[in-house]
Structure 1
Amino acid sequence: MRQWVDSDYFPEGPDAVRERPDRFEFRRCLPFLFLHLGCVAVIWVGWSPVAVAVAMALYLARMFAITGFYHRYFSHRSFRTSRTMQFLLAVFGNTAIQRGALWWASVHRHHHKHADQEPDVHSPGLRGFWWAHIGWMTSSKNFPTNYDSIRDFARYPELVFLNRFDLIVPLLFGAGLYFLGAILHVHASVLGTSGAQMFVWGFFVSTVVLLHGTLFINSLAHVFGSRRFQTADDSRNNLALAVITLGEGWHNNHHRYMGAARQGFVWWEIDVTYYLLKLLSWAGLVWDLKPVPRSVLEEAHRLPVVPEAA
């Protein structure tokens, strides 16, 4: 039970946990069951335009928190910001309920180091589509944070605290949604919402859709799409995934050059996350957005796009 509160609690040590067989474990599946079953509560709480609008807005905002902050900042350091701002970015990303920024980034760095090779924890070509999509998250082997691979951020105690106690922010987020709905129920009853309804739509429905949208990059983006660059992995570019993930669908581009703040390498490749990061840079909240090197851009324009699908 203590590990549900303290994600770094391993009596036998994290290294021993990482040596366990990579397999489905029902105990690790419980959080996902909780989130998915919570969506069924829409049968009882109903819906309202305001609750659905909040769910959609939270999907977009938290997708940006994952793609712009968890991924492009904490995983790849594709721009710079202040220490205060990076803490706020980690808090914002934690509302997506995809664990702490340091765990997320350490897993993603490992993925790039071993993409679609045997050590990769979520390769559809090695362990099948569903394991790559969500099965790997049900294995306790993949639960400990590898702080050695994220030393650049692990030196900040406030980030380690957020990563270790990664349920604090989601609990406060859920409570805030409930109280927002309750306040609107009393003071703006014409909107037809309630605390329970806002909680179900904003917390459960929005989060589950967000979770699968994010995980599609692990699964679908290595199976369906086109390949501009002949990388050593199975990464694909996929317009549909780029739309639902605000730009992450240009996955083959990203695997060709992971350090750039931009993943849509040519003008027509929609990358909403990059556009929003540019806005933040104009506001002075982030800076030094790393560009795609000219040589890679020239390669992108020179090479034909090869349509491929599994």
Structure 2
Amino acid sequence: MIIILFFIFSWYFSLFFQTFFLHRYAAHKTFSMSRTTEKVFFILTWIGQGSSYLSPYAYGVLHRMHHAYADTEHDPHSPIYDKNLFYMMFRTKKIFTDILYSRTPVEARFTRGVPEWKKFDLFASSWPSRLMWGIIYLIIYLLFADNIWLWLLFPIQCLMAPVHGVIINWFAHKYGYRNFEVSDTSKNLLPVDFLMMGESYHNNHHSQGHKPNFGVKWWEIDPTFIIIKMLDRLKIIKLRKSAI
């Protein structure tokens, strides 16, 4: 039971920072925050994502490329150009890593305003950091996994952030419903997004990428947007009026 609770907590804790900080802030800048607050969220993202930490800078650039080239040969992750989700994951990882380590030139339009803390990103993305988190997870599982089937969760635990990404980037371009006719294959994967904190309203987002609220219909409740509004009221962040 402890492992199940730990896994569920990790799932949503990691997912929140991915959708809130990496996606809606780093990639789309639907709200602003101070430089100090930004660095705090870099660190919280590292804690939340642990061994599967994703650089906010590389994520922001990659995601902007996805919107610009959605479902074309230049899209960093598209089910149309990858024969299965594992090929897509490996191709995305290569492009992501090339951006992180400045191995490939990137157009200015994709980097403008994306938060960057290079020294921290290199540390948090390093193998010693990932190994440290992996050992922490291993100790927790050794102590509390009282049934062997619980170890099936361990690989997902270690690869949490990429798993979140592939659910949307693969399945939300194949299955679901559409509220908007857009030029790509994006779909809303879940009518009530209890699993992905608003991320599965993917068609809505591709149609209205500037909006921090990914829900459109009355039943499409976006829990991350609720938290964003709370943080705005607490003056931790500032919602852009043009984005609401």
Which category describes the TM-score, using the shorter chain as reference length? 0.7 to 0.9
1:55 is aligned to 2:1: no
Q: Aligned to 1:73, what secondary structure does the other structure show?
A: helix
- Quote the Cα distance in structure 1 between the aligned partners of 2:129 and 2:36: 17
1:284 is aligned to 2:235: yes
| Residues 78 and 260, structure 1, Cα contact 8 Å, conserved in 2 | yes
Q: Work out which of the two has the higher radius of gyration on C-alpha atoms and give 1 or 2.
A: 1
The amino acid that maps onto 2:74 is P
Q: Aligned to 2:177, what secondary structure does the other structure show?
A: strand
- Quote the Cα distance in structure 2 between the aligned partners of 1:88 and 1:175: 24
Q: CA deviation at 1:284?
A: 2.1
Partner residue in 2 for 1:64: 16
- Quote the Cα distance in structure 2 between the aligned partners of 1:83 and 1:202: 36
- Quote the Cα distance in structure 1 between the aligned partners of 2:80 and 2:161: 24
- Quote the Cα distance in structure 2 between the aligned partners of 1:67 and 1:262: 11
1:257 is aligned to 2:208: yes
Q: Aligned to 2:37, what secondary structure does the other structure show?
A: helix
List runs of 5+ in structure 1 lacking aligned partners: 1-48, 186-191, 294-310
Q: CA deviation at 1:249?
A: 0.7
List runs of 5+ in structure 2 lacking aligned partners: 100-104
**Map of 1:145-156 to 2, 5 A cutoff?**
145=99, 148=108, 149-153=110-114, 156=116
- Quote the Cα distance in structure 2 between the aligned partners of 1:290 and 1:224: 33
Partner residue in 1 for 2:79: 124
1:73 is aligned to 2:34: no
The amino acid that maps onto 2:118 is V
1:214-258 CA distance string (max 9 Å, x none): 311111111111111111111101216833211111111101111
- Quote the Cα distance in structure 2 between the aligned partners of 1:240 and 1:133: 25
**Identity score, percent:** 24
CA pair 80-292 structure 1, distance change in 2 beyond 3 A: closer
Cα RMSD of the aligned pairs, angstroms, is 3.1
| Residues 114 and 120, structure 1, Cα contact 8 Å, conserved in 2 | yes
1:116-169 CA distance string (max 9 Å, x none): 11211211122334256423235x455211664224235x5xx12222332365
Residue among 146, 167, 172 paired with 1:221:
172
| Residues 121 and 132, structure 1, Cα contact 8 Å, conserved in 2 | no
Residue among 144, 167, 171 paired with 2:98:
144
CA pair 238-193 structure 1, distance change in 2 beyond 3 A: closer
CA pair 202-125 structure 1, distance change in 2 beyond 3 A: closer
Task: Calculate the TM-score normalised by the size of structure 2.
Answer: 0.79
| Residues 134 and 158, structure 2, Cα contact 8 Å, conserved in 1 | no
CA pair 269-245 structure 1, distance change in 2 beyond 3 A: same
- Quote the Cα distance in structure 2 between the aligned partners of 1:78 and 1:85: 15
The amino acid that maps onto 1:100 is S
- Quote the Cα distance in structure 2 between the aligned partners of 1:135 and 1:117: 18
Q: CA deviation at 1:176?
A: 5.6
Task: Calculate the TM-score normalised by the size of structure 1.
Answer: 0.64
- Quote the Cα distance in structure 1 between the aligned partners of 2:152 and 2:175: 30
| Residues 32 and 240, structure 2, Cα contact 8 Å, conserved in 1 | yes
Residue among 258, 273, 284 paired with 2:224:
273
Q: CA deviation at 1:273?
A: 1.2
Residue among 198, 202, 206 paired with 1:247:
198
